[in-house]
Amino acid sequence: MNITNSRGLSQSVRHSLTMAHRTLLKIRRTPEQLADVTFQPIVFTLMFTYIFGGAIAGNVSSYLPLIIPGLLVMTVITTSIQTGVQLREDMDTGVFNRFKALPIARIAPLAGALLADTVRYFIATTLTIAMGYLMGYRPHAGFGDVVLAGLLVIASAWAMSWIFAFFGVIARTASSVQGISMIILFPLTFLSNALVPSQTMPHWLQIFVKINPISHLVTAIRDLANTGSVNSNLAISLLGAAIVVLIFAPLTVRAYMRKA
Amino acid sequence: MGTQTDLAVEAQGLVKIFGTNRAVNGVDLKVPKGAIYGVLGPNGAGKTTTIQMLATLLRPDGGSARVFGHDVVKEPHRVRQLIGVTGQYASVDETLSARENLFIFGRLLGLSRAQSRSRAQELLEEFDLSEAAKRPLKQFSGGMRRRLDLAASLISQPPLIFLDEPTTGLDPRTRAQMWNTIRHLVQTGSTVLLTTQYLDEADQLADRVAVIDRGQVVAEGTVDTLKSSIGSASLRLELADAADLDRALAIISGVLNTTAIERTPRGRLTVPLADAEQVADVLIGLRHAGIAITAMSVEKPTLDAVFLALTGHGANTEEVVLS
């Protein structure tokens, strides 16, 4: 037997892909795990559009170009909380003991979980856009740019999931992961321009909304889907996502290794 | 101590501290290659913690351990390639089927898709798991999960296998099957280190045994030496009147010259015997003192008796012990 004390990069990638495969198998076995990425997009889209549509934009159809990109960001980013919650639940099961004793890359269970969750973001993204389409939303920029917008949301949610994965690794229970994550995400998503234009807000709140990275992401998606324009908001969103990953990926991995 | 060694496991002064509790307090172990080695002890003695340190799952707070000459702290990845671990609680994915579990573990161990699939099939047949091949494990019994757990540890036929209480909670038939599997593992070249609470399990399987109590090895040797060190049998007595308990204890310890007598407040006594002839001496002594008994039996040594003899207290800490 050829025995080494280190793992190559290709091995780490292969182990991570296998762990992602495992997560997908689990989803297939317990499809109710997908409840949040299926019902939430449908219910939120219907609810918020009809509640706010008349008040904010005069009617539903002129609200759709504003709300659909906003809801897309809100819904998909909120979904990424589940990454942390499920990671915590998973780490508490006996099978994680076996992963720890296997000669695999230490990072693989973490990387696999985050990778597999992009499937969840994809479902949430597709359903939100499809719901918008059914309700009459016709993005002017065309199919290609809408796909790009969708990919941008998925990439951002993946970046955000590192934050929640970090809580997942350090927290003691799954419900506390949910709690901490909501406290952070609630103000970020609601104190943004996702649902309403910020002009009617008090001045101090407008300042927060303006610097809130979620607002930049929402604007980037709107511009991309509605007019096909690529601007500084897109650059800021990508930069923000990269910074989150650069900070939280090493933090999470370190915390995870210490526990693993 | 070179890397070439005849020992599968060599631990020196292992220590693990949880808060103020020294769960493992200086354990030395030498497990020869190709043997079945039993670690015997009651709940909370430090068996599982010791195994977890040897299997790189826990970092020791003191001492050192080597697996086939590789240090468990400095070369954990090497050690992990040489071991299989089956825990007390089945470490398998309960939402997945048995086949999916084996497939994923096979992939993680570096087998190709085709290899993983065929190895999973082999193990499903060998461990009588075909029933659980397609359905999620949570629908099946603990015994089934335990078998899968062991099967998963054997995917790559590791040279050293840790089994933490492999038969606790299993029915007698499954237990016997498990014993056969373990014997087969050693015949095919593996070394097995198992923990158990049952003396008869160690008796059936182990070549050598270490008895652990309160984080320390209190005895080490073959099962036969251990048994002979505690006498050949134990005498159980039930007194007619529990009020006679103290007098009875005094008489028995006088006759047998031992203080290692287990008792319960309701007048039950367990006494280790060097040889069965002593029963008569004890009974005559009690008769002379006018102490009546309602039941009496002579039993082969139990783990409780081993513990009593080696540590001065019973394996179950609830029991009151005369000392």
Output the DSSP codes for A218-259. HHHHHIIIII----HHHHHHHHHHHHHHHHHHHHHHHHHHHH
Give the pLDDT confidence score for residue B1 in this predicted structure: 45
Between strands B83-86 and B7-18, the pairing is unpaired
Q: Number of structural domains, chain A? A: 1
Contact B83 A6 (CB under 8 A): no
Q: Give yes or no for a contact between B236 and B296, defined as CB atoms under 8 angstroms apart.
A: yes
In a domain, A71, yes or no: yes
Which positions in chain A touch B87 (Cβ < 8 Å)? 94, 97-98
Domains of chain B, earliest start first:
7-227 (3.40.50.300), 230-321 (3.30.70)
Out of B55, B81, B95, the one facing A3 most closely (by C-beta) is B81
DSSP annotation of B240: S
Q: Could you tell me which chain B residue has the CA closest to the CA of A20? A: B104
Task: With CB atoms and an 8 Å threshold, state whether B91 touches A108.
Answer: no
B152: contact with A, CB 8 A cutoff? yes
| A1, A19, A29 member nearest B81 (Cβ) | A1
| B268 contacts chain A (CB < 8 A) | no
Structure tokens at A13: 């990638």
Q: Round to whole Å and give the CA distance between B16 and B14.
A: 7
Residues B174 and B155: beta-carbon distance below 8 Å:
no
Of residues A100 and A152, the one with the higher pLDDT is: A152
Domain, as residue range, for A66 = 9-259
> A14 — phi, psi (to 5°)?
-65, -40
Quick one: which of B50, B87, B37, B29 has its CA closest to B192?
B37
For residue A258, how many other CB atoms are within 10 A of its CB? 9
Report if residue A4 sits inside a domain: no
Whether B80 has its CB under 8 Å from any CB of chain A: the answer is yes
How far apart CA B160 and CA B9 sit, in angstroms, is 9
In this complex, do B81 and A98 lie within 8 Å of one another by their Cβ atoms? no
Question: What does the block give as tokens for A194?
Answer: 């996702």
Best residue of A2, A24, A100, A258 to probe chain B, by most B CBs closer than 10 Å: A100
- How many Å apart are CA B102 and CA B121, to the nearest integer? 9
Tokens 């996702």, residue?
Answer: A194
Domain membership of residue A56 (yes or no) is yes
Q: Is residue A186 part of a domain?
A: yes
**Interface contact A259, partner B, CB < 8 A:** no
Which of B67, B58, B57, B1 lies closest to B29, judged by CA?
B67
Flag if A3 and B82 touch (Cβ within 8 Å).
yes
Q: Between β-strands B191-196 and B160-164, what pairing exists: parallel, antiparallel or unpaired?
A: parallel
**How many whole angstroms separate alpha carbon A101 and alpha carbon A113?**
18
Interface predicted TM-score (ipTM): 0.84
Q: Which residue, A246, A226, A222, is CA-closest to A234?
A: A222
The 10s digit of each residue's pLDDT in A194-228 is 988 888 899 999 999 999 999 999 999 999 999 98
Is residue A34, in this structure, part of any structural domain at all? yes
- Read off the pLDDT of each residue in A146-151 and give the average, rounded to a whole number: 94
Q: Which residue has the higher pLDDT, A54 or B3?
A: A54
CB B315 within 8 A of CB B42: yes
Mean pLDDT for chain A?
Answer: 90
- Does B78 contact chain A (CB < 8 Å)? yes
Q: Which helix (H) or strand (E) holds B268?
A: strand B268-273
Cα distance between residue B91 and residue B101, in whole Å: 10
Tell me the per-residue pLDDT of B176-203, one tens digit each, with 9 for 90 and over.
888 988 998 899 899 999 998 887 888 8
* Short-list B206, B236, B212, CA closest to B224: B206
Residue A2 lies in a domain: no
3-state secondary structure at position A154: helix
What's the token pair of residue B313? 């207290």
Q: Which residue has the tokens 């990454």?
A: A83
The verdict on residue A3 lying in a domain is no
**Secondary structure (3-state) at A104:** coil
Tens-digit pLDDT string for chain B (323 aa): 444 578 999 999 999 999 888 999 999 999 999 999 999 888 888 999 999 999 998 899 999 999 999 999 999 989 999 999 887 766 888 889 999 999 999 999 999 999 999 999 999 998 888 888 888 888 887 778 888 888 998 898 899 999 998 888 788 888 888 898 899 889 989 999 999 888 788 888 999 999 898 899 988 988 777 777 666 677 888 888 888 888 888 888 888 877 777 777 788 888 877 777 788 888 898 999 899 989 888 877 665 666 677 766 655 443 333 33
The per-residue pLDDT for B302 is: 62
Structure tokens of B291? 């102490």
